[in-house]
Structure 1
Amino acid sequence: MHIQFFIPSIYQLPTGGNIFNRKIIDFLSDVHAVTVTVYRQSSDLKTGRVQADVSHKTHIVFVDSLLLREPSVRKFMKRKASGVRFVLLVHYLHLIDPEQENSPAAQQELELLSTFDGFVTTSGFSAEKLIRQGVRFSKVCVAQPGLDLIYRTEIRKNEPAPIPLLLTVSSILPGKGLPEFISILEKQADLDWQWQIVGEAGLDREFYRKFDRHLEGLRRAGRVVYHGSIVLSKLVRLYDEADLFVLPSHFESCSMVSMEAMSRGLPVLAYQVGGLQEIVINGQNGYLIPPGNVSEFSRSLWKLISDPGLRKQLGENALLSSREFPGWEDTGNTVNNFLMKISHF
């Protein structure tokens, strides 16, 4: 079987969606013939070159959901080749985000759902949202992201830090709730803590500049360190050094980083949004706060900073929960089995 992937030009950046794509491409390349087309400009699709490639040799075409924002991709989908199965890789869609589900972008996505023969989602939440929009259950595959083997290695905790270390791993984007979390931290200046941030800054440069200015007060006080994008081994080390994982996102389709944090024994503090509800059990391995309830988020943060015994218990439970998370081979097999089903091979 020949499989073709259409992926965004940002594919090399270390976002959760890009990591998922690379892992699935690597897995399927060991089983099938796989080609990858990086979408860089509208001319790629307007020339018909891609259309011809798809028509003559391809059985399955994966389209990253981020590409549905491109007008030329939407046109391409409406005149797609017959006899080819098109599968949408659902990382983010406006129509599954409660804050965006009534937006014009969500309506454009809705109009394209019928052009796809299958959907690979990273959470049951996303799958359920699609089914509510009329997608047949048999067309949807839930493939929870896997954990790299390094996350199964022994946790290397040093001596307890003199102050609690809070860790956030997130792309620097408007929907990630980072400015709001800065405001929460500024109101907890009487407590001892340090905030470490890891994340890609290149997705929205203008927003990053604003975010960096927001950090200035905490930076002057020596209470925040922004690492940018870092290699995997250093990220694992930061997980192991941290005491609490905080993810203030307004929406997450799944949250690979929360899974990673839990596998290193960290409790998670986040909002009860999207696929996070399938990973974090409120009060057992972390706290999930009702969306938009900033005061409750702040109270839970205070409780976790102030009570090392609570952090330890929730962290131990998080580690136990993480043992149920799949590896990438499991995720790859899930996707491959789905492809075999919808392609009738």
Structure 2
Amino acid sequence: MTIAAAFAIPGALDTPTGGYEYDRKLLEAAPAVGLALSHLPLSGGFPRPTRAEAEAAIAAMAAAPGPVLVDGLALGALPAEAIPEALGARLIALCHHPLGLETGLSAEASARMLAAEAAALARCAGVVTTSRTTAETLRTRLGVPAARIAVAPPGLTPAPRAPRRRDPAPMILGVGTISARKDWGTLVAALSRLADRDWTCAIAGDDARDPDAAQALRAAIETAGLAPRIRLTGALGRAALDALYLDADLFCLPSRYEGYGMVIVEAMMRGLPVVACNAGAVPEAAGGAARLVPPGDPEAMAKALAVVLDDAEEADRMAAASRAHALSLPGWEDAARIVAGQLAGLRAEPLRDMREHSA
């Protein structure tokens, strides 16, 4: 039996972030599991929509027949009181990570956003998250009952192993938007401690979404005297990014929080040793195959990178562990199947048993 549903997504579907990649892959994989998922575009003003944009999003979802899967970038920013009960009864929220946990928010702003997102989730019939870690966060901090949450980890597309030539110097690759949460400044500070070693670095990510973070990163690179060795590529398409993975010798993600960390497992599929921060769902995604350090600790990151740069045998061991872990992970059809099950099991009424949450 085919399940038909709309998938409400704010902004441009081709935006080069992990969240949008998840949405694109889910749309592609859905037909193979009997899920007819139609793209319902919403305004690009989220997660800070105007009142008119929020009202238009709710109207568009209300007009869609049948179940509606809504990306959390939109759902988390909608006023709960404006979501009709009839719509909430057929809404499934896809939460990549709570909007209120974005790095750089004041304590007051974070609490306000978490409370608003909890209220919006209370109007929905169910939730899909991309990790067990995020599911637990929704349960403990936003009061979503565990029975109403389905975890659909990102799939992983097969890809060839990187040759890791280390010639003329090992290339350290980082992938992710230039933003406060990704914390590329910690990587730069770590690399400044390793200036006596041979290495180059490429950071691939959109540098236009957070101009202040991009300016601060460029200034940090210049101040450290590393401009000849660290390259910012800007946002890359899939083919260019795949080529960069194959040119890399090791991978680093200094992020302060991740709802999953798709780029980590993408790097592992290429057989790259991975150094990352023990933040959010990163340990879950890495599956014990990465070297993890505390977030925001350049000294610890420098030591971890030094091990991979200096010890070829350990680097090879980590590379093999990366590849083995990646090959054990599910595919996109598995994720689509879980989402289809959540959509098929919609209750007749919206959630009413949300307990009081504490932000």
TM-score by length of 1: 0.87
User: Per the alignment, do residues 335 and 190 of structure 1 end up closer, same or farther by CA in structure 2, a change over 3 Å counting?
Assistant: same
Answering whether residue 144 of structure 2 is matched by residue 135 of structure 1, we say yes
Answering whether residue 65 of structure 2 is matched by residue 63 of structure 1, we say no
Given that 1:96 and 1:126 are in contact with CA atoms closer than 8 Å, whether structure 2 keeps it comes out as no
Which range is displaced more, 171-180 or 103-112? 103-112
Answering whether residue 100 of structure 2 is matched by residue 92 of structure 1, we say no
Answering whether residue 181 of structure 2 is matched by residue 172 of structure 1, we say no
Given that 2:80 and 2:120 are in contact with CA atoms closer than 8 Å, whether structure 1 keeps it comes out as no
Given that 2:203 and 2:233 are in contact with CA atoms closer than 8 Å, whether structure 1 keeps it comes out as yes
| C-alpha distance after superposition, 1:160-190 (max 9, x if no partner) | 4132211000111111111122112112211
Which residue is equivalent to 1:5? 7
Given that 2:162 and 2:272 are in contact with CA atoms closer than 8 Å, whether structure 1 keeps it comes out as no
1:303-342 map, 5 Å: 303-342=307-346
| C-alpha distance after superposition, 1:140-160 (max 9, x if no partner) | 1111111224x2xx3252644
| C-alpha distance after superposition, 1:63-98 (max 9, x if no partner) | 22222464xx22575435357411111112145679
Which range is displaced more, 85-94 or 293-302? 293-302
Q: 1:262 aligns with which of 259, 268, 271?
A: 268
Q: 1:24 aligns with which of 23, 26, 40?
A: 26
Q: Distance in 2 between matches of 1:33 and 1:165?
A: 40
Counting aligned pairs with the same residue, the percent is 27
Give me the CA root mean square deviation: 2.7
> SS state of the match for residue 81, structure 1?
helix
Which residue is equivalent to 1:106? 114
> SS state of the match for residue 88, structure 1?
strand
Which residue is equivalent to 1:277? 283
Given that 2:268 and 2:274 are in contact with CA atoms closer than 8 Å, whether structure 1 keeps it comes out as yes
Amino acid in the other structure paired with 2:304:
S
> SS state of the match for residue 153, structure 2?
coil
User: Per the alignment, do residues 194 and 105 of structure 1 end up closer, same or farther by CA in structure 2, a change over 3 Å counting?
Assistant: same
Amino acid in the other structure paired with 1:316:
A
> SS state of the match for residue 346, structure 2?
helix
State the Cα distance separating 1:35 from its structure 2 match.
4.1
Given that 1:4 and 1:34 are in contact with CA atoms closer than 8 Å, whether structure 2 keeps it comes out as yes
Q: 2:293 aligns with which of 266, 275, 289?
A: 289
> SS state of the match for residue 225, structure 1?
strand
Given that 1:281 and 1:288 are in contact with CA atoms closer than 8 Å, whether structure 2 keeps it comes out as no
Which residue is equivalent to 1:162? 168
Q: Distance in 2 between matches of 1:126 and 1:105?
A: 16
Amino acid in the other structure paired with 2:320:
E
Q: 1:199 aligns with which of 195, 205, 208?
A: 205
Given that 1:281 and 1:287 are in contact with CA atoms closer than 8 Å, whether structure 2 keeps it comes out as no
User: Per the alignment, do residues 44 and 97 of structure 1 end up closer, same or farther by CA in structure 2, a change over 3 Å counting?
Assistant: closer
State the Cα distance separating 1:237 from its structure 2 match.
2.3
| C-alpha distance after superposition, 1:237-284 (max 9, x if no partner) | 2222211110000001101100000000011111111111112245xx
Amino acid in the other structure paired with 2:148:
K
Given that 1:219 and 1:225 are in contact with CA atoms closer than 8 Å, whether structure 2 keeps it comes out as no
Amino acid in the other structure paired with 2:66:
H
Given that 1:59 and 1:83 are in contact with CA atoms closer than 8 Å, whether structure 2 keeps it comes out as no
> SS state of the match for residue 6, structure 2?
strand
**Unaligned stretches of 5+ residues in structure 2:** 349-359
